[in-house]
Copies of this chain bind each other. A is one copy, B any other.
Amino acid sequence: MLINCVAYQDGKKLADLPIDDISDYVERPDCFVWVALLDATPDELKQMQHEFSLHELAVEDAQRGHQRPKIEEYGDSLFAVVKTVEMVGDELVLGEVDVFVGANYVLSSRTNCSQGFLGVRARAEREPHLLRQGSAFVLYALMDAVVDRYFPVLDALESELEAIEDRMFDSGTERVNIERLYQLKRKVMVLRHVVGPLMEAVGKLHGGRVPPLAHDTQEYFRDVHDHLARINATLDSIRDTISTAIQVNLSMVAIDESEVNKQLAAWAAIFAVFTAFAGIWGMNFKFMPELDWQYGYPAAVAVMCGACGYMYYLFKRSGWL
């Protein structure tokens, strides 16, 4: 589905174009065309391939989807695959933005991603001195928008971790914690696979050998790279913490169990003493003088309770109860 198809000149909007005119405008050296597609059909992509003379392999990748984030050079043009991440309920939903960038065109194709990039275009149009920098700046603006949307997801993951940590040392929460830690780990890994390869790819747009297209916008891409590095470091840190937390959880289970065991042992001991006395006085020997005493019974119960009470006190003192 075509969302926008606009020609710009000198940083200012020239006209909304019909698709068939694109190739004419692309040939004009002072002009620059920015097209946005949503859930593009194979036919639309074929048409765009024809208008912009896109490389076959790049178009194939865009059609198939499920690519790793990457930025590839095809001759003078770039093909970028960027993943969007959205929190829907408790789940991470991945979408994909494919961007074809040439000297004077940008074609972005968005798939499975509820939030659009109209804001990016609007902001760019409000700042002609930036838009004048051409297609590489638009690529930057799109990437920056996608990456900015990673931060709330990252924050959600961090909050989830903190929520787990708050309950981690409470006994009885181990089953829930371990399950939540596992789910969190899975989400962190999804996000890492979105962020990691992109960071690596963006790293090639500044510093060493940079594609000519991106040469004058290096500092902008370094900024994106820096954001991605920050997200990545935080993800690493969450991941490391989760590993430790799983180990700690296991320790907590073991500690809890060992305390239950101690209580079990203590009570078993107390009742064993009680039963032992009762067993003695339940024996059927003929000559057991205490059985005939007037206050033998209450005395016996007192002795039994006394012994048990003393044991209870001992166990209490040593921390077993």
The residues of A with any CB-CB pair to B shorter than 8 Å are: 55, 57, 61, 67-68, 70, 72, 74, 168-169, 172, 174-175, 178-179, 181-182, 185-186, 189, 193, 197, 219-220, 222-223, 226, 229-230, 233, 237, 240-258, 260-265, 267-269, 271-288, 290-297, 300-301, 304, 319
> Are A260 and B262 closer than 8 Å at their CB atoms?
yes
List B contacts of A301 (CB < 8 A): 280
Question: Given B179, B269, B283, which contacts A282 in the complex, CB threshold below 8 Å?
Answer: B283
The distance in angstroms between the C-alpha atoms of A51 and B275, with both chains bound, is: 90
List B contacts of A245 (CB < 8 A): 182
> Are A169 and B174 closer than 8 Å at their CB atoms?
no
> Are A261 and B268 closer than 8 Å at their CB atoms?
no
Q: Which 9 A-B pairs have the closest CB atoms?
A: A278-B279, A271-B272, A257-B258, A264-B265, A281-B283, A285-B297, A253-B254, A282-B282, A288-B297
Question: Given B185, B246, B255, B296, which contacts A174 in the complex, CB threshold below 8 Å?
Answer: B255
The distance in angstroms between the C-alpha atoms of A253 and B237, with both chains bound, is: 27
Among A253, A285, A301, residue most surrounded by chain B Cβ atoms (within 10 Å)? A285
> Are B275 and A279 closer than 8 Å at their CB atoms?
yes
List B contacts of A255 (CB < 8 A): 174-175, 178, 253
Residue of B nearest to A168 (CB): B182
CB distance from A157 to the nearest CB of B (A): 15
Chain A binding surface SS class: helix
Q: List 25 A-B contacts (CB under 8 A).
A: A57-B219, A61-B223, A72-B222, A74-B219, A168-B182, A172-B319, A174-B251, A243-B244, A247-B247, A253-B255, A253-B258, A256-B258, A260-B265, A261-B261, A271-B275, A272-B275, A278-B279, A279-B282, A280-B301, A281-B283, A283-B284, A284-B284, A284-B288, A286-B296, A287-B294
List B contacts of A181 (CB < 8 A): 248
> Are B230 and A67 closer than 8 Å at their CB atoms?
yes
Question: Given B185, B229, B251, which contacts A253 in the complex, CB threshold below 8 Å?
Answer: B251
Given the interface pairs A255-B178, A262-B260, A301-B280, the reply to whether A285 lies near B291 with Cβ below 8 Å is: yes
List B contacts of A223 (CB < 8 A): 57, 61
The distance in angstroms between the C-alpha atoms of A275 and B275, with both chains bound, is: 8
The distance in angstroms between the C-alpha atoms of A273 and B275, with both chains bound, is: 10
> Are B286 and A291 closer than 8 Å at their CB atoms?
yes
> Are B189 and A237 closer than 8 Å at their CB atoms?
yes
List B contacts of A268 (CB < 8 A): 264, 267-268, 272
List B contacts of A257 (CB < 8 A): 254, 257-258, 261
